[in-house]
Amino acid sequence: MAPVPDEHTTHTLPTTGALPPELTGRYFRNGPNPLPGSPAGHWFTGAGMIHGVRISDGRAEWYRNRWIKTPAATGDDRPFLREDGTVDLTATSANTHVIPHAGRILALVEAGLPYELTPDLDTVGPCDFGGQLTTAMTAHPKEDPITGELHFFGYSLRPPFLTYHVLSAAGELIRSTPIDVLGPSMMHDFAITANHVLWLDLPMTANPELMVTGGMPFAWNDNYPARIGVMPRNGSSADVRWIEIDSCYVFHVANAAENPDGTIAFDAVRYTPAMIQKVWHGIGGHAELTDAQANAPTSLHRWVLDPVRGTARESALGAESVEFPTIDDGLTGLPNRFVYTVGSNLAGGVRGIVKYDLRDGSTDRHLLEDTWQPGEAVFVPAQDGDAEDAGWLLSVISSDTGAPSELLVLDATDLAAGPVASVHLPRRVPSGFHGSWITDAELAG
C-alpha cells in the first residue's frame, strides 16, 4: 500500500505473451497515493493517482501515472468542512474510481465532485455538470446498458443524507431527488435493475467524535438497522420499500436483476459485523494491519428481495474470501451468469482471481505466486463474442517485495490457463481501488 513518490512515463512496454489485437484503448486504475511526507493515516484517504496503460495493435504503447490535481495533491490545505458547516466539494481526493461517460473521463470519490481528466491523464478540473450537481457523487455509478444513462447518488453527513441523480447519455444532469434514510450512513455502493434502484442503508454511520479528531468520520453502529430499499426508477422517496436484512455491511455490489416472479436477485460482497469492524480497524491506522485482518473472510452473497411482501432470503454464493466483484458492464441491472472477484486465502493461502458461475455454482481461478497480489479484474468483452464470458480480464498485480508490477490479460473463459499476456510495468503500482477499460470510441463521445 506504500505510495510511489513521483509521476513517471515510459513508452513501448515489454510484454510476455500476445496482447489480443482487438484491445485498443486505455486501462486506467485509481487509488490513494499521499504526497511525500503526508501519511494518509487511513487507506481510504490520500491524493488520488491514476496508473494508465495504452494498448493498440497488439502493443503496450505507454505507461504513465499522474496525481489527480485536487487540493489533496497540490498542497492546497483548504478544509473540506468549512467553518459555517458547509462542505467544499472540490476539496477532495478523487482517489477511488475512474470511468468514461459522454466523452469525459471522470475520477471519482464519494466525498466530493468528480474531477475530469484528459486521455493522457492531465487534470481538467472539478466537474459539476454545468453547475447542476450540488452534492457529492458516489464512486460507483451505474450506466444503464440500454439507455446509456448514468445513475448515481451522493450521501452527506447532514440532511438530505441521500440524493439520487441521473445523467443523460449525453452527460446532462436530468434528475436530482432526495431520498429519506434513517441517518448519515456510509453508502459506498448501490444497484439498479431494469425498473428499480436498490439503496443500502447499513450500520456504518457518521461519528461526531471522529469528525472532530479529523479521522474517517464513520464507525460501526450496533443501534442502526441494516436494510435494503427498493425504489421504482421513476419513483421518489415515498415509493421506497425498505426491507430489513441480517446486520452486515457491503462495500461493493456485483449486480442486481429482476426475476420472472417479481423478486429481485441482488449480489454483493457481504461483511458480518465482526468482519467489518476488524477490517475497518486495521485499515484505519489505529493498528498495524495484520495478515488476519488483511485476509478477514468475506463472501459473495445473494439477497432475494420480495418488494411486495417486504422480505429477503439470504445465501452465500461461495466459501472464498473475496472482494472487488465485477461483471460484464453490458449486463448492469440485467440477469448475468458470471461474477469476477479478487480472492485471498485461496488454495494454499495464496491470492488470485476467482470467477463464479452463478448458474451451476462452479468456480474458475487464476492463482498467483506467493508474494503477488491481484487488483480488481476488469472485464473487456470480445467484439464478436457469443457467450457472456467471451473476452478478457485486466488486472494490475503487485508484489509484496516491491518488484515492478504487471498488467495481466486473462482469457475470461479459462482463468486457470494463466494469462494470455503480461505487460511489464516500469515500476511498482501500489494496491489501489477501481479502474476501467476505456475504448477510443468512448472518448469520442
pLDDT attached to residue 285:
45
Residue 287 has pLDDT above 60, yes or no: no
Is 281 annotated as ligand-binding? no
Spatial distance between the Cα atoms of 216 and 102, rounded to a whole number of angstroms? 33
**What mean pLDDT comes out for the span 235-241?**
98
**What mean pLDDT comes out for the span 119-138?**
97
pLDDT attached to residue 349:
76
Please name each of the domains of the chain with its CATH number: 8-443 (2.120.10.30)
Percentage, residues of the chain above pLDDT 90 = 80
Residue 368: band (very low, low, confident or very high) from pLDDT cuts 50, 70, 90: very high
pLDDT attached to residue 389:
98
Spatial distance between the Cα atoms of 64 and 9, rounded to a whole number of angstroms? 4
Residue 44 has pLDDT above 80, yes or no: yes
Is 11 annotated as ligand-binding? no
pLDDT attached to residue 184:
95
Residue 145, phi-psi category: left (phi > 0), alpha (psi -120 to 50), beta (remainder): alpha
Spatial distance between the Cα atoms of 392 and 23, rounded to a whole number of angstroms? 9
Residue 86 has pLDDT above 90, yes or no: no
Residue 214 has pLDDT above 60, yes or no: no
Spatial distance between the Cα atoms of 183 and 42, rounded to a whole number of angstroms? 23
pLDDT attached to residue 215:
61
**Averaged confidence pLDDT in the chain:** 93
Q: Let me know: does 98 contact 117? Beta carbons within 8 Å.
A: yes
Is 101 annotated as ligand-binding? no
**What mean pLDDT comes out for the span 269-297?**
71
Segments of 188-287 assigned E as strands = 191-192, 196-201, 204-206, 218-220, 227-232, 241-244, 253-258, 264-270
Spatial distance between the Cα atoms of 83 and 81, rounded to a whole number of angstroms? 7
**What mean pLDDT comes out for the span 429-445?**
92
pLDDT attached to residue 40:
62
Residue 42: band (very low, low, confident or very high) from pLDDT cuts 50, 70, 90: confident
State if pTM tops 0.85. yes
Residue 290 has pLDDT above 60, yes or no: no
Residue 137 has pLDDT above 70, yes or no: yes
Which of 208 and 145 is assigned the larger pLDDT? Answer: 145
**What mean pLDDT comes out for the span 36-43?**
76
